[in-house]
Each structure stands twice: as C-alpha cells, then as structure tokens.
Amino acid sequence: MKLTIHGAARQVTGSMHLLQVGQYKILVDCGLDYEKDRSIQSNENFPFRPEEIDVVILTHAHIDHSGNLPTLVRLGFNGQILCTPPTADLTELLLLDSVSIFMNKAGKGNRKRGKGKFNSGGGPQPLYLQKHVMDTVDRFVTIGFNRPFRINGDIELTFIPVGHLLGAASAVLKVTENGEEKSIAFTGDIGRKNYPVLNDPQELPPVDFLVSESTYGGRYHTKGKSVEETLVEVIEKACIKEQGRLIIPAFSIGRTQSLVYSLNKIFTEGLLPAVKVFVDSPMATMATGIFRKYHSLVNQEAQDFYKDKGDEFEFDNLTYVETLKDSRQISNYWEPCIIISSAGMLEGGRIQDHLFYNIQNYYCTILFIGYCAKGTLGHRLLRGDPIVHIKDRELAVYATIKQTDVLSAHGDHQDLLDNVKQQDKTKLKNVFLVHGEGESMKLLAASLEDEGYTVTIPEKDVTYNI
C-alpha cells in the first residue's frame, strides 16, 4: 500500500488522502482548502488526475472534508462516493450552500454554464455550479455504521461512528495485498464524549496503520461545568437580570441542533423562566429536518427526551426564522431574547445584520461557542478590538463578548490520545497525524511517542510505503 497526504498536511483544512492498493486508487475525503494564503480557485489544481481515482470515501459532511468533491467530479472523476446516509444528506445541503457563496462572490455576469467551463472575465470564478453538485450527489453510495462493505475483492470498508457530527465516521479498511492482510483506519474528525444529541465515539478495531486528526493537539477543553450549567449562567445574566438580548453565532449544521436541544432541556425542566429563542438560519432549519429523519442515530438521552417530552428540536418559546424580512423584524423585538444565527465566525450570513444593530447595545451579550480563525470578525471581537468593521461601517463595541468551549464538537488532546491508546502499540505500526496546525501535531506526537507509539507528521504530497 502507498499513502499520500494531499490535503490537511500540517494544516487544518482541505482533508484529502490517497491510498493506493496496487493500481487501485482510493481517495479519503476531498475537502476545500481555505487557508488564508490560498485562493479558492487553487482547489482545482489536484496533484493527480481525477479520472484515475477509482472510489472516494467521505468521512463526514463538513466542507473541509467534502467541499471539493464537485470539483473532482467536474474535472473527470466518475466513480462512487461512499459515505453514511446522514453524511450524504448533510453534504448535499452544504455543497449547495457553497455554490451560493461562490456565485455571490463571482457575480451573476461572471459565469457561463456548460460542461464545467467558466469564462475568464470579471471576478473570482465559482469552483462549481449546482449541476456539478447534483452530479456529485448522484455518485453517493450510502453504507450504514458497522456494516462491512466490499469495495472490491481485496478491500473491505467499515464505517465506525465517531461522534462530532451526525453521520460522521472513521473509515476502517482491510486490505489483502500480495497475499498479506493489512488494515488502516482514517479517523476523520473525532468527537467528544457526553456531547448533546450525538453519540460518543466508538472504539476502533485493531489496525496496522492509523491516520488521525490532531485539531486540538495540545489543547484541553474546560472541565467542570456542563453545557446546561454554562448556558444557564450566561442566559440568566444577559436576558433575565439585565433584560437584554443574547446573540449566539453558531454553525448551522451540528452546533445549532446541539444548542437548541440544550436550551429545550433548560426551559422544559424549569431551570430558567421562558425566554424567546430565534433560530435565524434557513440552513439550520433544513439540517434540523435531517436530524429528525435520522433520529435513530442520535444519542440515547435525546431519544429518551423525545419519548418523554417530545421533539427535542422544538419548544414553545422557539421560532425558526425563515424569510429575510422576518429576520430583519427581530431587531424590533424589544423583549429579552436569544438569537442563534450563522455563521459561527461572523463572516457573512444573517448574523452580520444582528451584529450591526446590536454591537453598540450595552444590553447585548455575544456568546461564541466555537473556534474563530485569525482574520475573522469573530476573532477580532474575541481579542477585544474596541472598534470593528461591519457592513461598511466602523462600529464601537459596547456589547459584552463571551466565549465557551462546552459546545466544541472536536475531541481535545486527551480525547485524541485516548483514541490512539485503544490500539495495541505492538500491532499499530505507525500513526500519521493530519488535520492540525504544526504545533498541535508536535504536541500530540510527543505524547504518543511517550506512550510508545511510532508517529509520523507527513509532508504534503509525499508518498509513504506502508
């Protein structure tokens, strides 16, 4: 076997790993690389010929793992894309949203339909169009968790639940090569234990090689307070004592559903008086429908809540906001309220309207529940900038800025370490670390080596014989 890390090598975005078994080529994930020093158009420069890829395995729907699939299809890939059923549905939703983002950036006059060719005039050209997304969706072949699937006579795939997002999986491959059986697992993104709505990551079977994410290498989540305890504390101060509004930027898929369920528990159990909650994201509404569709895959606590108290994503004081007109009307709602809107890092989306009208409101609290990359508006607010640029205006920041990591869906350093330590170090020949910043990888590698594991931090586009 030959392993080449073509994406997420010593960085977080753009996951893309090539496994060659003889002449057979398997691509694990095909995500968008949106590091700040790269143009989005550079994603079409694949280091291989797309038509030579035999099959794609998709670990989960997030755009840094799935977002370049339509480009791969547009440029010649014509094989199957293997994933779990929820991943197929959520990926379609995210890819269609990517098209909207591309088109907004490109402008209506800068595109030309027809066999994937785009004109060269005007602004940045879209990587792909809706047609290419639908061509991609047509290639999805869905496989349930823990159900071995024979890709060909020599290769068997099993998806193992990993938490993190509905449908997310580690991909475990058993390979027979030259009469010898080998095994390799690609973790995808590893979730946390006791996370709202989602199941805990399932232990992987013994493997010879492991390709592991390292996003939170060297970092630890805050211990002590539960999600509900943290939210009660913030809501009580912002909405009840101060009679103000709480704005929570949250990614539409995954984070918003876990947040809504946690708020449902808080108000249903009477931990706080009812406060109006607006979920202002059409994509979040559609994603919630997918969570309902695959209700059998949510965790036992959420299933028990459904049996005892009803839909975990619906309660009396909750409103899903559909139209842009209704979204803008929220600014005229003068009672205390909670506004959940995307995007999580404040780069675009309806959240910018809410910030524009509330950033100078002394009675507004903005609660960040996820990571904000450098250069984003979210990062500038978190570092304490007194003035920020929103919608062509320079606005003073009078709102209270808070952050919590209780709803981070990534496992931390200890979770990543524990995931590897389930493997017998006498059998596991090598751990390849991907999907993390350089320093995170080094810190995780050092901890693993202290435990007696062999670790490689692969360079981009370098092939390893395994």
Which pLDDT tens digit goes with each residue over 69-78? 999 999 999 9
Strands 430-434 and 209-213, how do they pair?
A: parallel
Do 368 and 308 form a contact (C-beta atoms < 8 A)?
no
- Distances 135 to 142, 216, 351, 394 between C-alpha atoms, Å: 16, 35, 31, 43
Do 45 and 71 form a contact (C-beta atoms < 8 A)?
no
Question: Residue ranges per domain, the chain?
Answer: 2-111+124-219+409-465, 227-403
For residues 141 and 157, what is the distance between their CA atoms, to the nearest angstrom?
A: 13
Does a cis peptide bond (omega within 30 degrees of 0) precede residue 343?
yes
For residues 98 and 75, what is the distance between their CA atoms, to the nearest angstrom?
A: 18
* pLDDT of res. 37: 67
Contacts of 253 (CB under 8 A, 6+ apart): 61, 62, 90, 93, 94, 165, 283, 284, 287
3-state secondary structure of 97: helix
For residues 281 and 166, what is the distance between their CA atoms, to the nearest angstrom?
A: 18
- Distances 75 to 28, 51, 78, 295 between C-alpha atoms, Å: 17, 8, 9, 36
212-237 in b/e form (b: 16+ CB < 10 A) is: bbbbbbbbebeeeeebbebbbebbee
* pLDDT of res. 278: 98
* pLDDT of res. 109: 44
What CATH number should be reported for the domain whose range is 2-111+124-219+409-465? 3.60.15.10
Put the strands of the sheet holding 149-152 in their side by side order.
149-152, 155-161, 169-177, 180-186, 209-213, 430-434, 455-456
Contacts of 121 (CB under 8 A, 6+ apart): 109, 110
What CATH number should be reported for the domain whose range is 227-403? 3.40.50.10890
* pLDDT of res. 117: 46
CA 65: distance to chain centroid? Answer: 8
CA nearest neighbour of 30 among 105, 76, 81: 81
* pLDDT of res. 286: 96
pLDDT in tens for each of the 466 residues of the chain? 999 999 999 999 999 999 999 999 999 999 999 876 678 889 999 999 999 999 999 999 999 999 999 999 999 999 999 999 999 999 999 999 999 888 877 764 444 444 444 444 556 789 999 999 999 999 999 999 999 999 999 999 999 999 999 999 999 999 999 999 999 999 999 999 999 999 999 999 999 999 999 999 999 999 888 999 999 999 999 999 999 999 999 989 999 999 999 999 999 999 999 999 999 999 999 999 999 999 999 999 999 999 999 999 999 999 999 999 999 999 889 999 999 998 756 777 788 899 999 999 999 999 999 877 777 788 899 999 999 999 889 999 999 999 999 999 999 999 999 999 999 999 999 999 999 999 999 999 999 999 999 999 999 999 999 9
CA 454: distance to chain centroid? Answer: 28
Phi-psi region of 267 (alpha: psi -120 to 50; beta: other; left: phi over 0): alpha
* pLDDT of res. 247: 96
